[in-house]
C-alpha cells in the first residue's frame, strides 16, 4: 500500500528530518538512506520498520542539519606558529614571495572541522523520530485501506450475485441432466427392458459428479469469512489471511466450472473468476 510519513527532531546538536515512503509490494522490502554519522543504527531502524509495517516497498531517507552551533574553528595559535616559521624560513634561505593567510589555512590542524560522530544517545533520538514518521505513514495507509476495503466488498457483492444465479440454476440443470442421462443409460442398457436398479445406479453416480451444492456452500462460507476479515478493526495485518481465503474461493470456482456442463453456469463462473482476479490484484498489496 502506498503512503508517506515525515517527522523532525533534534539529535545532539543537529536537526534531523526523516521521510518514509511506501509503494505496493507483496512482501516487506525496506530501503534505507542514512547519513554516515547515523549509519551505525541502520539495523535498529530496519527492525523498527519491520515491526510496524508488514508489506510494501518502504524507502526511508534521513537528513541532518548541523548549521547551528557547529561553526568551523580556526586555531589562531597554530596560525601564529606557522606564520613565524614561514617568515624565519624565508629570511634564512633568502626566499621571495609573501606569506599569505590562504597558505597557512591549508596547513594541518589549523582549521578544526566539526566531527560527524554521534554519541550513544543519538540512536534513541533517531528511533523516536522514525517512530513518529512511521505513525504518520500508517495513518495515511489506514485511510487508503478503508477505501480499498470498500472496493473489495463491492467485488464480493458482485461474486455473491453471480453465485446466487448459479444456486438458482444448479438444481434445474441437475434435473434436466437426470432426465437426459436416464434416457441415454436406458438406451445403452437395452431399451425398455433395462434393469431399473442399474439405471438408477448409473444416474446416481453421474449426479454425484455433477452436483455442486457442497462447493456452493463452501464458497458462501469463504465469502462470509472474507467479508468479516476485511471489516476487522484489529491492528493485526489481514492481507495474507485474505489471500488464503481468496485461494479457497478460486479453488471452489474452478471445481464448479469443471462440474457444470451448462452454458449459463459457465458464464457465471467466468464472471466470478474475473471478479476474483480483480480482488487478487488488490489483496496482494494489502497489509
Q: Which pLDDT score is estimated for 61?
A: 94
Do 252 and 278 meet the contact criterion of CB atoms below 8 Å apart? Answer: no
DSSP type of residue 72 = -
Which residue has better confidence, 269 or 75? 269
What does the pLDDT look like over 79-118, one tens digit per residue?
888 888 888 888 887 777 777 787 887 788 777 655 556 6
- State residue 39's pLDDT score: 87
In whole angstroms, give the CA distance from residue 60 to residue 7.
Answer: 11
Question: Which residues lie closer than 8 Å to 147 by C-beta, 6 or more apart?
Answer: none
| pLDDT at residue 19 in the model | 95
Cell numbers found for residue 210: 455433477
Report the C-alpha gap between 242 and 260 in whole angstroms. Answer: 27
pLDDT for position 186: 64
Residue 138: its pLDDT value, please?
A: 87
Give 59-82 pLDDT, tens digit per residue.
999 998 875 445 567 778 888 888
CA 149 to chain centre: 15
Average pLDDT of the residues in 190-208: 64
Cβ burial of 194 (10 Å; 0-12, 13-18, 19+) is middle
- What is the CB neighbour count within 10 angstroms for residue 1? 22
pLDDT band at 194 (very low <50, low <70, confident <90, very high): low
Amino acid at each position: 500500500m502506498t503512503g508517506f510519513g515525515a517527522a523532525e527532531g533534534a539529535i545532539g546538536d543537529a536537526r534531523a528530518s526523516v521521510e518514509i515512503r511506501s509503494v505496493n509490494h507483496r512482501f516487506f522490502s525496506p530501503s534505507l538512506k542514512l547519513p554516515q554519522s547515523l549509519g551505525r543504527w541502520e539495523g535498529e531502524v530496519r527492525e523498527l520498520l519491520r515491526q510496524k509495517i508488514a508489506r510494501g516497498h518502504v524507502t526511508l531517507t534521513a537528513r541532518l542539519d548541523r548549521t547551528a552551533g557547529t561553526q568551523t574553528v580556526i586555531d589562531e595559535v597554530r596560525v601564529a606558529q606557522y606564520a613565524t616559521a614561514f617568515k624565519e624560513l624565508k629570511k634564512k634561505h633568502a626566499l621571495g614571495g609573501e606569506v599569505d593567510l590562504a597558505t597557512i589555512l591549508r596547513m594541518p590542524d589549523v582549521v578544526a572541522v566539526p566531527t560527524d560522530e554521534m554519541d550513544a544517545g543519538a540512536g534513541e533520538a533517531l528511533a523516536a523520530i522514525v517512530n513518529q514518521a512511521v505513525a504518520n505513514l500508517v495513518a495515511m495507509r489506514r485511510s487508503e485501506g478503508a477505501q480499498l476495503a470498500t472496493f473489495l466488498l463491492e467485488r464480493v457483492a458482485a461474486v455473491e450475485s453471480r453465485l446466487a444465479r448459479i444456486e438458482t440454476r444448479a438444481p434445474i440443470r441437475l434435473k434436466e441432466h437426470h432426465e437426459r442421462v436416464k434416457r441415454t443409460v436406458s438406451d445403452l442398457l437395452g431399451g425398455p427392458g433395462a434393469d431399473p436398479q442399474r439405471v438408477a445406479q448409473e444416474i446416481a453416480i453421474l449426479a454425484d459428479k455433477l452436483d455442486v451444492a457442497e462447493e456452493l456452500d463452501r464458497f458462501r462460507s469463504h465469502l462470509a469469512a472474507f467479508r468479516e476479515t476485511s471489516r476487522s478493526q484489529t491492528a493485526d495485518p489481514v492481507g495474507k489471511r485474505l489471500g488464503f481465503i481468496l485461494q479457497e474461493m478460486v479453488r471452489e470456482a474452478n471445481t464448479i466450472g469443471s462440474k457444470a456442463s451448462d452454458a449459463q453456469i459457465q458464464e457465471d463462473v467466468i464472471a466470478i473468476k474475473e471478479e476474483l482476479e480483480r480482488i487478487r490484484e488488490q489483496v496482494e498489496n494489502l497489509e
